[in-house]
Amino acid sequence: MSFELGRPLGVPNDPVFQKRVLLAALELFEVAKGPVIEDFPEDAPIGEEVVTGLACPVDFLQDEANLTETETLCTSLKREMQSLRPWYDLALQKRGRTTVGISGVDLDALGDFICAFLTGETPENPREDIDLPYTLNLATDDLKAYYFEAITTQPGQESASSRVLSDWLYQETVAGKVLFALSESCKNSEDRLMKFICNLLIIPMAQKNKERN
């Protein structure tokens, strides 16, 4: 049976089902010849399709009246990230791990790093082993991971499907607006690598199609 992309063992926090999947996979080592292709006999559990409480409150203050649209967007992003920080810290405490940090950009500087590309700045690359466009792509992955890890630690949201989480991030948060703006702003870049990343990697095609509709 098919499993949701990115969840080869089913939904999180379901150790009984996950153990059955692992045992079935290990039993394949007993087959004398290969290649071996076997269907798992059970349907993978499906996360909740309707998730409540996915919200990032952001206060737009009057002192933003003199800011540009981009500056206002970036200020709102940093406030939104701050509002999620207690949930992210709780997730880190409960799980003992995180996927945030692959870009090498400090979490407290992540919003500024991404927004620099919207304002035409060239931030310092914290990774010496890869070019800046690749670091930007990893920074957007860090941003997504931060939001997903924070929101899925809220009560009742642990098993939210990837579709629900993606819709929430890209359609309902300031972070989603920033990612769309980033993709749009650099898709015509003279840097071919940057253009490729902005066109194909920052926004999933499913979300691009929703934006067009």
Q: Read off the pLDDT of residues 79-92 as tens digits, 9 standing for 90 and up.
A: 999 999 999 999 99
pLDDT for the residue 55: 52
Question: In whole angstroms, how far apart are CA 139 and each of 21, 100, 147?
Answer: 33, 9, 13
What is the full DSSP assignment across 95-150? HS--STTTT---GGGHHHHHHHHHTT--PPPS-SSS-HHHHHHHHHHHHHHHHHHH
> Vertex 153, ends 150 and 154: CA angle to 5°?
100
Residue with tokens 């629900």: 164
CB-based contacts of 79, cutoff 8 Å, min separation 6:
58, 59, 174
pLDDT tens profile 22-60: 887 887 788 777 777 777 777 776 655 444 555 554 444
Please tell me the pTM assigned to this model. 0.75
Model pLDDT for residues 125-158, shown as the tens digit of each residue: 999 999 999 999 999 999 999 999 999 988 877 7
